[in-house]
Structure 1
Amino acid sequence: MSNPTLTTATHTWSAILFDLDGTITDSAPSITAALAKTFEALGLPVPSQAELVSYVGPPLLEAFKVHAGMNDEQAWKALTVYREHYDNGALDTAVYPGVAGLLERIHDAGIPLALATSKPESMALRILEHFALTPLFDVICGATEDETRSAKSDIVAEALRRLQALGVDTSQSVMVGDRGYDALGAAANGVPTILVEWGYGSPAEAAEAIATVYSSDQLAKKLLG
């Protein structure tokens, strides 16, 4: 992905929101492995690895409908099976190089930090705790277990609401993600997005972002100057 806009830090951000999968953690291996087992358990052909990666990011309930052509009942069954498999391998992931250090720098700079992920909130919390990142975040917001809050726009809205409840000024917030889905969800709340190239997005998904970055150092310049 490439976007020349915002080549230097031009804002003083009042709050920063981060996506999780593909932005903080390289979680595709654990997600796609669980998806493959899900299709096998359901007696369905297992999609190619490239097709499985396309499931990473958006809400899985919706992804099963869009990519696998499932109806509501089938998608819920697939999601239930997936969660059973994923729970066993959720921590088989890694934090991208330099990202933990950047989160520490943001925290030390006193800029309020929120997680806004489509992953179930309980699982997101488990992963952050595993990597000792939980204390760096003022707010940790994810999807609800029943998927009533799963759209990125709703998750960003809830993260902003929780920040505001803490007295945080969210008028100059920015979202950091890896998919166009992140950018569209943030834009629905009036929040611009910086996309990271190390995630699972494609160049076409950068169209909605104010910038793209290829390293944690470059991202640090956009966020901290």
Structure 2
Amino acid sequence: MDAIYFDLDGTLTDPKPGITRSIQYALQRLDHPTIPTEDELTWCIGPPLRSSFVKLLGDHAADRAVTLYRERFSDIGLYENGVYDGIDEVLTALRASGHRLFVATSKAHVFAERIIDHFGLRKHFERVFGAEYDGTRADKSHLLEYALKEVSVNPSKTLMIGDRSHDMVGAKNNGMKGIGVLYGYGSRDELIDAGAHHVCATPGAILGCIS
């Protein structure tokens, strides 16, 4: 494969505390009558943030909720996170084999850049692609279309690696192959149904799925 795009949340890092607590913060600020637990909010990890708030609150309150979420996430939540064990070794091996590596995340680009820098992953990646603050390119299909054009790679020789259906659908819609990972927040059925060519239980297993 000429190029490999990695999702961020649930694939490179485990962002559960930061994302779920920032969602709780937004709901509390909006005086929402019930505040889900962190475990009850894991379904929000992966999809575009606004779409998750639409499901939680309805369209009328989603934009305000995103703003409140970012109040906490920008200073606290993005650091309540950690790189999955084995990821650094996988990225090092892929780079040594000559693969070009990129990040493609529905997270706001400004946050993704800070996370990649904070956790020492910058050395592995040529570029980080993410959504704009206004939600532009939050959809994974649109994001990957943009990211492929930006670096002029052949989609048929490119992989998308991620933990949710959005990653696999985005890959399929752009003529890429998708590899799903099970150590994040999606299930095997979700990934297979969305078109994953392979499913990996651990970060180390990714290497065996790449030719």
Q: Specify the alignment match of 1:74 in structure 2.
A: 61
Pick one of 61, 83, 88 that aligns with 2:75.
Answer: 88
Change (3 A) 1:144 1:64: same
Q: Does 1:25 align with 2:13?
A: yes
Q: Specify the alignment match of 2:99 in structure 1.
A: 111
- Give, in angstroms, the shift of residue 138 of structure 1: 1.5
1:141 maps to a residue whose letter is F
Q: Number of aligned residue pairs: give it.
A: 207
1:14, 1:171 within 8 Å by CA — same for their partners in 2?
A: no
Q: What is the correspondence of 1:50-61 to structure 2 with a 5 Å cutoff?
A: 50-61=39-50
TM-score (norm 1): 0.88
Q: Specify the alignment match of 1:129 in structure 2.
A: 117
Deviations 1:21-53, CA, capped at 9 Å, x for gaps: 000000011100111111111100212434311
CA distance in 2, matches of 1:103, 1:40: 38
CA distance in 2, matches of 1:64, 1:185: 21
1:14, 1:170 within 8 Å by CA — same for their partners in 2?
A: no
Q: Does 1:36 align with 2:21?
A: no
What SS does the aligned partner of 1:84 have? helix
1:118, 1:143 within 8 Å by CA — same for their partners in 2?
A: yes
CA distance in 1, matches of 2:154, 2:82: 32
What SS does the aligned partner of 1:140 have? strand
CA distance in 2, matches of 1:195, 1:34: 26
1:194, 1:210 within 8 Å by CA — same for their partners in 2?
A: yes
Q: Specify the alignment match of 2:2 in structure 1.
A: 14
CA distance in 2, matches of 1:205, 1:192: 16
CA distance in 1, matches of 2:114, 2:137: 19
2:82 maps to a residue whose letter is A
Change (3 A) 1:103 1:30: same
Q: Specify the alignment match of 2:150 in structure 1.
A: 162
Pick one of 190, 195, 204 that aligns with 2:189.
Answer: 204
TM-score (norm 2): 0.93
Q: Where does the alignment leave 5 or more consecutive residues of structure 2 unmatched?
A: none
2:182 maps to a residue whose letter is E
Deviations 1:170-193, CA, capped at 9 Å, x for gaps: 431011000111101111101121
C-alpha RMSD over aligned residues: 1.4
**Stretches of 4+ aligned residues off by more than 4 angstroms:** none
Q: Does 1:191 align with 2:180?
A: no
CA distance in 1, matches of 2:121, 2:154: 23
Identity of aligned residues (%): 35
1:220 maps to a residue whose letter is L
1:116, 1:156 within 8 Å by CA — same for their partners in 2?
A: yes
CA distance in 2, matches of 1:162, 1:147: 19
The one of the two structures with greater contact order (alpha-carbon pairs below 8 A, sep at least 6) is 1
CA distance in 1, matches of 2:122, 2:2: 20
1:213 maps to a residue whose letter is C
Q: Specify the alignment match of 1:176 in structure 2.
A: 161
